[in-house]
Structure 1
Amino acid sequence: MTDFKDIELETPSPKAYDRRKFIESAGKGIIAATVAGDLLTSGTANAQSTNSGGSGPGPMSAAVKVEVPSQHAKSEGEQPAVPSILPKEKRVGYAIVGLGELTLGQIMKAFGECKNSKPVALVSGDAAKAQKVAQQYGISPKNIYNYQNFDNIKNNPEIDAVYIVLPNAMHEEFVIRAAKAGKHVLCEKPMTVSSKSAERMIDACKKAGKKLMVAYRIQYEPNNKQIKDFTRQQKYGKVKVITSTNVQNIGDPNQWRLKKALSGGGSLPDIGLYDINTNRYLLGEEPYMVSASTYTTPNDPRFKEVEEAVMFQMFFPSGAIANNTCSYGAHNSKHYRCYADNGGWFGMDPAFDYQGLMPEAEHAEGKVKNKMQPKLSEQNQFALEIDHFSECVIENKTPYTPGEEGLQDQKIMEAIYESARTGKPVQLERIEKIDAFRGTPPKEG
Structure 2
Amino acid sequence: MADESGLSRRTLLRAGGVTLTGAALAGAAPAQATPPGPTVPADTGAVQGGHVQFPNWRGAGDKPPAPTPAPQPPGKRVGYCVVGLGRLSLDEILPAFGAAKRARLVAVMSGTPDKAKLVAQQYGVPESAVYGYGDWDAVKTNPEIQAVYVVTPNAVHRDNVVAAAGAGKHVLCEKPMAASSEEARAMIAACAQANVKLMIAYRCQYEPYNREVVRIARSGEFGKPRMIQAFNGQTTGLPEQWRLKKALSGGGALPDIGLYCLNGVRALLGEEPDLIQAQVHAPADDPKFREVEESVSFTLRFPSGVLAQCMTSYGVHEARRLTVHTAGAEIDLQNAFAYVGQRLVVTHRDAKAIAQDTRVLGAKNQFALELDHFARCIQENRRPRTPGEEGLQDQVLMEAIYEAARTGAPVKVSPPGAGGGLDATRGPEPDEAG
Identify whether the pair has TM-score above 0.5, normalized to the shorter chain: yes
Residue 422 of structure 1, aligned match among 407, 410, 419: 407
- Measure how far apart 1:76 and its partner are: 2.0
1:387-423 Cα distance to aligned partner (Å, 9 max, x none): 0000000000110000000000000000000000000
Which of these residues, 270, 276, 296, is aligned with residue 262 of structure 2? 276
**Alignment counterpart, residue 394 of structure 1, candidates 379, 383, 387:** 379
Amino acid at match of 1:402: P
Q: Quick check: 2:333–2:345 contact (8 Å CA) kept in 1?
A: yes
Highest relative contact order (Cα 8 Å, sep 6+), 1 or 2?
1
Q: Which moved more, 1:259-268 or 1:350-359?
A: 350-359
User: After the TM superposition, which parts of structure 1 deviate over 4 Å for at least 4 consecutive aligned residues?
Assistant: 68-71
- 2:94 partner amino acid: M
Q: Equivalences for 1:69-218 in 2 at 5 Å?
A: 72-218=58-204
Contact 2:120 2:127 in 1 (8 A): yes
Counterpart code for 1:440: P
1:7-406 matches, within 5 Å, as 64-68=50-54, 72-341=58-327, 343-406=328-391
**Structure 1 pair 124–297 and aligned structure 2 pair: CA distance change class (3 A):** same
Report the alpha carbon displacement of residue 86 of structure 1 after superposing the two structures with TM. Answer: 1.0
**3-state SS of 2:377 partner:** helix
User: 1: distance between equivalents of 2:107 and 2:179?
Assistant: 26
Deviations 1:211-257 (A, max 9, x none): 00000011111111110011111111111000011000011111000
Question: Which residue does the alignment assign to 1:8?
Answer: none
The structural deviation recorded for 1:177 is: 0.1
Cα separation, 2, equivalents of 1:432 and 1:295: 35
Q: What are structure 1's unaligned runs of at least 5 residues?
A: 1-61
SS at match of 1:232: helix
Instruction: Name the SS of the counterpart of 1:85 in structure 2.
Output: coil
Give CA-to-partner distance per residue, 1:358-415, whole Å, 9 cap, x none: 1111001343110111121110000001100000000001100000000000000000
Deviation readout 1:251-303 (Å, 9 max, x if unpaired)? 11110000000000000000010000000011011001110001111220110
CA-to-aligned-CA distance 1:72-124 (integer Å, 9 cap, x gap): 33432110110222111010000000111110101011100111100000000
| SS of residue paired to 1:302 | helix
Aligned-pair distance for 1:441? 1.4
Residues of 2 paired with 1:206 and 1:232: CA distance? Answer: 32
SS in 1 for 2:400: helix
| One-letter amino acid of the structure 2 residue matched with residue 376 of structure 1 | L
Instruction: Give the aligned CA root-mean-square deviation in angstroms.
Output: 1.5
Structure 2 segments unaligned to the other structure (5+ residues): 1-47
Q: Work out whether 1:433 is the aligned partner of 2:401.
A: no
Distance 1:421 1:404 in 2: 26
Check if 1:407 corresponds to 2:392: yes
Deviation at 1:66, TM superposition (A): 3.0
Question: Could you state the TM-score of these two structures normalised by the residue count of structure 1?
Answer: 0.84
Contact 1:218 1:352 in 2 (8 A): yes
Separation in structure 1 between the aligned mates of residue 372 and residue 181 of structure 2, nearest angstrom:
27
State how many pairs are aligned.
384
Give the superposition deviation at 1:151: 3.3
Once residues 91 and 128 of structure 2 are traced to their aligned partners in structure 1, the CA distance between those partners, rounded to angstroms, is: 24
- Opposite residue 192 of structure 1, the aligned amino acid is A
Distance 2:160 2:304 in 1: 38
Distance 2:351 2:294 in 1: 44
- SS of structure 1 residue aligned to 2:292: coil
The answer as to whether partners of 2:81 and 2:107 remain within 8 angstroms in 1 is: yes
TM-score when scaled to structure 2? 0.86
SS at match of 2:359: coil
1-structure distance, mates of 2:273, 2:420 = 10
1:299-332 CA-partner distances (Å, limit 9, x unpaired): 2011010001000000101100000000001110
Structure of larger gyration radius: 2
Q: Partner residue of 2:30?
A: none
Q: Could you say which structure has the higher helix fraction?
A: 1
The alpha-carbon deviation at position 148 of structure 1 amounts to 2.8
How far off its partner does 1:136 sit? 1.0
Contact 2:56 2:64 in 1 (8 A): no
